[in-house]
Amino acid sequence: MVPFGGWDMPLAYPAGTIAEHLACRQAAVAFDVSHLGTVRVSGPDAFDRLQATLTNDLAKIGPGRAQYTHLLDPADASVVDDIIVWWVDEDVFDVMPNASNTDRVVAALTGEGGPAEDVTATRAIIAVQGPEARERLEAVAPDAASVPRFRVRRFEWRGAPCVAAGTGYTGEDGVEVAVPAAAAEDLWQALLDAGAQPAGLGARDTLRLEAALPLHGHELGPGITPLQAGLGWVVAWDKPSGFLGKDALVAERQAGVARKLAGLSTTGRQPPREHCPVIVDATPAGAVTSGNFSPVLGHGIALALLPPGITAEATIEIEVRDRRMAATLTALPFVRRRAKGN
């Protein structure tokens, strides 16, 4: 158990991180991700508040759908948080921020139409992920198992009102279930009894890195904009409401980004780590934002913020413990999986 964003979270279970990682790629695991926040925005103006605040365009989806989006700093368009919005009912949205950012998201979404309510403490979230995730979930909660990818559905489990979403953070197919806190332990045990293997934060991090999914505080955060992170697709430039930070982000788009997220691969089992300097053609060029050993590929992988325009022909090195290791520019994601959810 380790402290994480104000929570005590499991880093690994007895099987260990690599075994948990491979179980997710090959079968099914269950993560306790209750540290993620849930901010409920409801009422007749809920849609308008979210539209005017967050970067993506909810008008592209509708009730019963989920959407990935960003909350930006108005001053420099850096990513205050990256968020999944669950559009639960016509006027009810569950906004899912990262653990340490819930208060900031509540403040940004509270407006004249009413408060944004932090309901994190009332529920747990269990993420069932992997190519066999839906099969394991089917034995426990069939209504949750059949929710399509990036769809949202209310259902009941043993009388407890729950919400399922076809979302996750592993690059695999899967479902995230919000369950009332009082019923969470029983649901967790039922999933393990159905064959899902428990997995901790260690595996969650290596899985998201192989899938090149950004982590706030690493690939997103102060000084890092969606354009630098290669996530311009989450920005609805032309929606009439605009969004917080739009002027600063438009200015960066017009000027061109000074750095951009890139993938790097190394040989051998020693992984590059966060903050390791990256040298390109004998010149310091940036730093690793996330690095680890890839259990699927069998070698080190890393994400780094580097100047745009670096080509595969460049000589790239990563400095690890006063030693330089060769690296190659690698297309992202490092590991590409096919989700089963439609």
Question: What's the CATH number of domain 39-99+225-256, 3.30.70.1400, 3.40.50.300, 1.10.540.10, 3.40.50.1360?
Answer: 3.30.70.1400
Residues in the chain, total: 342
Phi, psi at 266, each rounded to 5°: -120, 170
pLDDT at res. 337: 78
Distance, in Å, from the CA atom of 137 to the CA atom of 133, rounded to the nearest integer, reads: 6
pLDDT in the model for residue 182: 98
Q: How many CB atoms neighbour CB 240 within 10 A?
A: 9
pLDDT at 338: 57
Q: How far apart are CA 219 and CA 91, in angstroms?
A: 32
Q: For residue 191, count CB atoms less than 10 angstroms from its CB and return exposed for 0-12, middle for 13-18, buried for 19 or more.
A: buried
Between 102-109 and 46-53, two packed helices, what is the crossing angle to 10 degrees? 110
Q: Are 257 and 228 in contact (CB under 8 A)?
A: yes
Peptide bond into 333 cis (omega under 30): yes
Domain 1-35+119-212 class?
alpha beta
CATH architecture observed for domain 258-342:
Beta Barrel (2.40)
Which of 176, 175, 153 minimizes the C-alpha distance to 88? Answer: 153
> Over its length of 342 residues, how does the chain's per-residue pLDDT go in tens digits?
999 888 999 999 999 999 999 999 999 999 999 999 999 999 999 999 999 999 999 999 999 999 999 999 999 999 999 999 999 999 999 999 998 899 999 999 997 777 899 999 999 999 999 999 999 999 999 999 999 999 999 999 999 999 999 999 999 999 999 999 999 999 999 999 999 999 999 999 999 999 999 999 999 999 999 999 999 999 999 999 999 999 999 999 999 999 999 999 999 999 999 999 999 999 999 999 999 999 999 999 999 999 999 999 999 999 998 899 999 999 999 999 755 554
CA distance 241 to 120: 28
The CA distance from 325 to 340, in Å, is 38
Domain ranges of the chain: 1-35+119-212, 39-99+225-256, 258-342
CA distance 272 to 277: 10
